[in-house]
Chains A and B, each alone.
Chain A
Amino acid sequence: MSEPLIEVSQLTRRFGARTALAAVSLSLPRGAVYGLVGANGAGKTTLIRHILGLLRAESGSVRVFGLDPVADPVGVLSRIGYLSEENDLPGWMRVDELVRYSRAFYPAWDDAYAEELRRSFALDPRARVKSLSKGQKARLGLLVALAYRPQLLVLDEPSSGLDPIVRRDILGAVLRTIAHEGRTVLFSSHLLEEVEEVADHVTMIDQGRIVLGAPLSTILESHRSLAEAFVALVGSPAAPARDG
């Protein structure tokens, strides 16, 4: 069996008195879509930030591609495509400047693919990032996260607050990414139907603890839907599935 892509072991994180992650252990093999679901504040973003090396493990360990993301940020981050919920792309850059800047960091950057994505997302290359709508910014973020065909695509609440068309683009990108052999997607969301649509494997997190980690098909054997499983395990629905 191949080495797991992400290996989180007994990870605990506290912010003051609040425990954001409590002895979380997780092992993600390659080549599938992993849905990380939980209510707001459950610990999804904290876990993802540990995987990216933006948070240092207080106790426990995090390994991505077999590397410590804090000790070796270049080794890890050069193989990850990341789209954050915050979408903090530099507003002063133009779209083509962002593309030109981003491709410098990734030797595998595919110009043709980037251009194809730019056209399909209808992004004006001379437009300033700050002048783009929220949906356009999400598409641009997706473009720079996908254009070098990363081995791991991490999407942290990517469709939060976006219209259904942009959400469709994002889900399409997820499906396109897994179409490339051996690529993996970690997709965090509180929109359960969205996760149900694309995920192979679901990890439910509640108050910093993993309450369920199983293939989606196994979950659906015992529950009618992911939302029902969520209510059964966590006690309240994460969010209305069709809130956009």
Chain B
Amino acid sequence: MRSAAAAIAWEFRRKHRWGLIALGGYLLVLAAYRLLILGPGRTVDFEDAQSFAFAVVGPITASVLYLLAVFSFGLSGDLAARQSIYPARMFSLPVSNAALAGWPMLYGSVTMAILWFATRPLALWPSGFPIPVIWPALLAASLLAWTQALVWMPYALPGLRVIVTVLWLATIDAVVMLALHFKAGEPVMLALLAPHVPLAYLTARFAVGRARRGDVPDWRAILDRLGRVADVLPHRRERFPSPRSAQVWFEWRRHGRSLPALVGILLPFELALLFVARDTPAIVFGTMLLASITPPLMAVFVAATLGESNPQGSDSYGVTPFLATRPLTSVSLVAAKLEVTIWSTLAAWLLVLAAVPLALRLSGTAPMVIERARRLVEVMGTPRAVAIVLLVLSALMASTWKQLVQSLCIGLTGRGWLVKTSVFGTLSFLAIAVPLAQWIHGSKSLMGVLWNALPWIAAALVCFKVSAAAWIAFRLRDRRLLGDRTLLLGAACWDITVFALYGVLVWLTPGILFPSYVLALVAILEVPLVRLSAAPLSLAWNRHR
């Protein structure tokens, strides 16, 4: 390597070779499908928007996000920190600020443009879809350049980087959307987007220069002054009653507040729709649905961090010596996590249950919802209607908790390769499952076969689940992680939950639809057991390597 430009390019290529190879592979698959299977010049007729999103929008968006992260150094830095995310080791290289800012920006912009110019002829666009020529490449390059400039900038407060970057990128998107709304042509779009890359480059050069000379503004003193007000308030100094309660506090402070915080941030935006379209029942009930699926949806994202022990370290999943040397059993450490997930779920739902009625009342949409509830009571009777509402609520809460805990057994292993394989496996499964489900949905004979085979499929899954649970129970016992008494107690609790769910399902489901043994199988499959009980084994495997 004879130049800084080549060295920087080599680092990107070497560090992200597998991701870039995967991206190249995706484009090759597109090309093969397009040219060999579909035939040149032919287009695809998508039945619905979901299929189009799945086949085109999803992969391209994921690729763009990946490239944004790669070329902004976002995968290796702390986005929430005040300091620039630009790798500090590169500041000591004998190159100018212009080179430090310019080369990654050039490589990123060119890669983004290549992605678009490769995707445009290869992707499965629906027939009659007007595909623009150049401006999406320029938009992608602009978004990348601004992301780089803004994340490389040092900020006065922690977290400010994320807010500024998101707001600015959303503004650029909004301008583009507005232009598309007014049916702006290619020249107008190019004129709108052309100044962005040079402006972003100048900003990035300034940002790198500031970061390089350690010029990081600091407004924390203002916050500290505000913090001193909090010091006047009663400060908890009493002892924790037990090691368990100390560990629960620890987990709450690290992970417990994430879900309520995320839900709390999203809810006002969602519920604002009630004020905008208060006369449209579809939007009112859609908003209520959106608010009620927000906690389980956000739980999926929070769950990804729950298994992490060492977010700052290079081995982010490995349990830190500080945590590993707590004089607690691995079961107690997992129990503290599980307790916090329960509190976290309850806190998130408390927000939803307080905010939704308040928003309904303030927006004047409450009578519409009350009227619908009154009709439900008329049709089903008060006890059944109340029971159904409570059951739906309980199911949503249980689903939120389940989302939080079901991947713990993977994250707690501390093996990055296992976590990545699991994510890849899940995404691959989804990639296969969605078109498979659509294919099955389109074939009535296949639907019939599957419907008849449903009890057998459920029975096979139950056999697998029970066998896996038994194996895990033996392992827990052999490793002395759990005693016989605790195992029996756990099994009894699980049995009671399954029977309770079975009773509810029998009460709710018409007997003609499903035989009761199918409902029993569904109840067994629905109540978490295997992954939950594997969590202590995973942590022990991580803690005692």
Q: List the interface of chain A (C-beta within 8 A of B).
A: 52-56, 70-71, 73-74, 76-78, 80, 82, 84, 86, 88-93, 96, 100-101, 103-106, 126
Contacts and interface: CB of A to CB of B under 8 A. Distances in A.
A82 B239 contact: no
B254 A105 contact: no
A102 B253 CA distance: 15
A92 B254 contact: yes
B246 A54 contact: no
Interface in B316-360: 320-322, 324-330
Nearest to B236: A100
Contacts of B280: none
B11 interface: no
A100 B329 contact: no
Contact of B326 (A56, A77, A100): A77
Contacts of A86: 320-321
A53 to B, nearest CB: 6
A19 B479 CA distance: 26
B92 interface: no
A54 B545 contact: yes
A92 B327 contact: no
Contacts of B320: 86, 88
Contacts of B330: 73
B237 A82 contact: no
Given A84-B321, A105-B246, A105-B328, A56 B239 contact: no
A88 B321 contact: yes
A70 B320 CA distance: 16
Most A CB within 10 A of own CB, among B254, B320, B325, B545 = B325
B231 A126 contact: yes
Given A73-B329, A73-B543, 4 more contacts: A71-B480, A73-B544, A80-B325, A100-B239
A88 B322 contact: yes
Nearest to A93: B253
Most A CB within 10 A of own CB, among B243, B250, B254, B330 = B243
B464 interface: no
Contact of A55 (B312, B327, B545): B545
The A interface, classified by DSSP as helix, strand, loop or mixed, is loop
B545 A90 contact: no
A67 B237 CA distance: 34
A157 B236 CA distance: 34
> What 6 A-B pairs have minimum CB-CB distances, sorted nearest first?
A104-B246, A78-B327, A104-B240, A77-B327, A70-B544, A88-B320
B544 A55 contact: yes
A103 B239 CA distance: 8
14 contacts: A52-B321, A52-B324, A53-B544, A54-B545, A56-B545, A71-B480, A73-B327, A73-B329, A73-B543, A74-B327, A88-B320, A88-B321, A92-B253, A105-B243
B43 interface: no
Contacts of B321: 52, 54, 82, 84, 86, 88
A186 to B, nearest CB: 14
Interface string B233-260: 0001101101101100110011000000
Given A54-B325, A86-B321, A88-B321, A101 B240 contact: yes
Contacts of B327: 73-74, 76-78, 105-106
Interface string B250-291: 100110000000000000000000000000000000000000
A118 to B, nearest CB: 14
A78 B330 CA distance: 14
A54 B544 contact: yes
B310 interface: yes
A54 B543 CA distance: 6
A78 B312 CA distance: 27
A126 B321 CA distance: 24
Contacts of A105: 243, 246, 326-328
Contacts of B237: 96, 100
Nearest to A69: B544
Most B CB within 10 A of own CB, among A54, A77, A86 = A54
A56 B254 CA distance: 28
A189 to B, nearest CB: 17
A37 to B, nearest CB: 21
Contacts of B242: 104
Contacts of A55: 544-545
Given A100-B239, A104-B239, A104-B243, A56 B544 contact: yes
B245 to A, nearest CB: 7
B225 to A, nearest CB: 13
Contacts of A54: 321, 324-325, 543-545
B545 A74 contact: no
Most B CB within 10 A of own CB, among A52, A53, A82, A90 = A90
A100 B240 contact: yes
Contacts of B545: 54-56
A104 B245 contact: yes
A71 to B, nearest CB: 6
Given A91-B312, A100-B240, A103-B239, A52 B245 contact: no
B243 to A, nearest CB: 5
B46 to A, nearest CB: 47
Contacts of B250: 90, 101
